[in-house]
């Protein structure tokens, strides 16, 4: 006799499953977040098939046709970059971000651009009244006609998509969408089934759909993890000082890891077309400890400033303070400087900062850290037209980095004619060690850009 399926309890915050209800979720630490989930019944396998059902039709890969997914520009170039070229017909995008960071603002701007180009836009307002959306639209200068609704029932939203066939559907937010008979709004089953129903409707109607998702305290999208597997693209909007960074962490229609940069202003989110110039705008001139580094964040090359400061410590043990970089990699670079360059750091507090508020775990910043610390200790500023990148090994060697050519091109586009780089980069004489890098910076000619 077959055993009856067991009841499971699911955390409505992160989707963690347990055989019994728990007061606190061991995965996300949320209190009183477990809800009972009805067990699924699977028919037993019978003779000649699984549960008496025969297998489906098989299709050879060679007989499957090739089809390029049609794309439509969102009207915002930085968003198009992150999406891999624009909105895909029938594609579903999940956008996450902290409350008040600008998700609704950005999407309302996109809705205006798409509607102005002739495509009808359906905007599902689950968290705000229609009057609030009108006020934001007036502030942003939205002039296109948008179709608004406060009906958050998934079945009704899908029906509206079938009836009106909009070019773009924005659901703000997916946690407010309800499915009949699936429990309280925002629960695991509601979010999962609502996402599945809207995704199916988007595929059937060819509607580009954007779902806004809440985030948990650790910055991940709230709700079951299966929601991120259902959608085609997952992007996150995060705040860095006065800038907003839009990152793609999953993209079935393009390359994940793309980065878009925006600046928050009174008229909305404004795309920053040259992030390197924006992040280097306040860089001090002729100050020891300041180095321009060519780095890569995701798939986007940028120029950032690495700063270092060394001061005599009043404490028995010298302090090491690192902001925006990997502290362990900085410790390795400091050890290499002491061992290979005989640079005395034992009695000095060393502070290393990646200016601008970014956090970039890029090994290619090692050489910039080494030169910044050396510059701060000896009190010599680097020439203004020098940019550097490269990974530093324990033997003091300078190693190659990923996307080296794109880093060099970005530095050249920004006007930095002298590059201190690892060996092997075409068109550039490289440095093999940290000692050579130090000599290349202050001698000025041996390792300047080849012409």
- 103 marked as binding residue: yes
Burial class (CB in 10 A: 0-12, 13-18, 19+), 239: middle
Angle at 41 between CA 39 and CA 46, to 5 degrees: 155
Q: Is 104 annotated as a binding residue?
A: yes
3-class SS string, 152-211: CEHHHHHHHHHHHCCCEEEEECHHHCECCCCCCCCCHHHHHHHHHHHHHHHHHHCCEEEE
Paired with 221 in beta bridges are 215
Return the structure tokens found at 201. 């409707």
Pairing of strands 290-297, 386-388: parallel
Q: Is 98 annotated as a binding residue?
A: yes
Query: Is residue 228 reached through a cis peptide bond, with omega within 30 degrees of 0 on the bond before it?
Result: no
- Residue 244 near residue 269 (C-beta atoms within 8 A): yes
Q: Which token pair is 321? A: 């303070």
Q: Could you give the 3-state DSSP secondary structure of residue 323?
A: strand
Residue 47 carries which DSSP code? T
Query: Is 100 annotated as contributing to ligand binding?
Result: yes
> How far apart (Å, rounded) are the C-alpha atoms in residues 412 and 437?
19
Binding residue ranges: 97-104
Binding residue ranges for ATP: 97-104
């Amino acid at each position: 006799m077959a055993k009856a399926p067991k009841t499971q309890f699911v955390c409505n915050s992160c989707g963690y499953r347990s055989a019994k209800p728990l007061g606190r979720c061991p995965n996300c630490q949320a209190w009183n977040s477990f809800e009972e989930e009805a067990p699924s019944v699977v028919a037993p396998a019978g003779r000649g098939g699984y549960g008496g059902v025969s297998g489906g039709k098989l299709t050879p890969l060679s007989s499957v046709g090739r089809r390029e997914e049609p794309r439509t520009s969102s009207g915002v170039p930085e968003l198009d970059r992150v999406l891999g070229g624009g909105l895909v017909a029938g594609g579903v995008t999940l956008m996450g971000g902290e409350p008040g960071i600008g998700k609704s603002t950005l999407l309302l701007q996109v809705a205006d651009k798409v509607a102005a180009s002739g495509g009808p836009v359906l905007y599902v307002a689950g968290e705000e009244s229609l009057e609030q959306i009108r006020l934001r639209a007036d502030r942003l200068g939205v002039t296109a006609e948008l179709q608004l609704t406060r009906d958050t029932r998934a079945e009704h939203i899908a029906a509206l998509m079938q009836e009106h066939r909009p070019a773009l559907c924005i659901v703000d937010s997916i946690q407010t969408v309800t499915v009949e008979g699936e429990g309280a709004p925002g629960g695991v089953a509601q979010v999962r089934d609502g996402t599945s129903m809207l995704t199916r409707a988007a595929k059937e109607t060819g509607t580009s759909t954007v779902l806004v998702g809440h985030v948990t305290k650790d910055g991940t999208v709230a709700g079951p993890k299966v929601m991120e597997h259902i959608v085609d693209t997952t992007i996150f909007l995060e705040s860095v000082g006065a800038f907003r960074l839009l990152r793609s962490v999953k993209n079935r229609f393009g390359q994940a890891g793309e980065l878009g940069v925006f600046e928050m202003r009174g008229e909305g989110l404004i795309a920053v077309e040259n992030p390197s110039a924006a992040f280097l705008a306040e860089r001090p001139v002729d100050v020891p400890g300041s180095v321009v580094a060519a780095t890569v964040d995701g798939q986007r090359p940028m120029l950032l400033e690495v700063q270092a400061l060394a001061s005599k410590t009043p404490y028995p043990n010298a302090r090491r303070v690192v902001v925006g970089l990997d502290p362990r990699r900085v410790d390795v670079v400091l050890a290499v400087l002491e061992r290979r360059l005989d640079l005395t750091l034992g009695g000095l507090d060393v502070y290393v900062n990646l200016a601008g508020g970014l956090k970039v775990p890029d090994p290619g910043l090692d050489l910039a850290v080494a030169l910044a610390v050396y510059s701060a200790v000896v009190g010599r500023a680097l020439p203004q037209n020098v940019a550097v990148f490269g990974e530093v090994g324990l033997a003091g060697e300078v190693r190659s980095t990923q996307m080296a050519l794109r880093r060099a091109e970005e530095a050249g586009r920004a006007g930095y004619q002298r590059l201190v780089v690892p060996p092997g980069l075409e068109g550039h004489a490289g440095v093999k060690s940290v000692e050579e890098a130090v000599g290349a910076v202050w001698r000025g000619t041996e390792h300047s850009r080849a012409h």
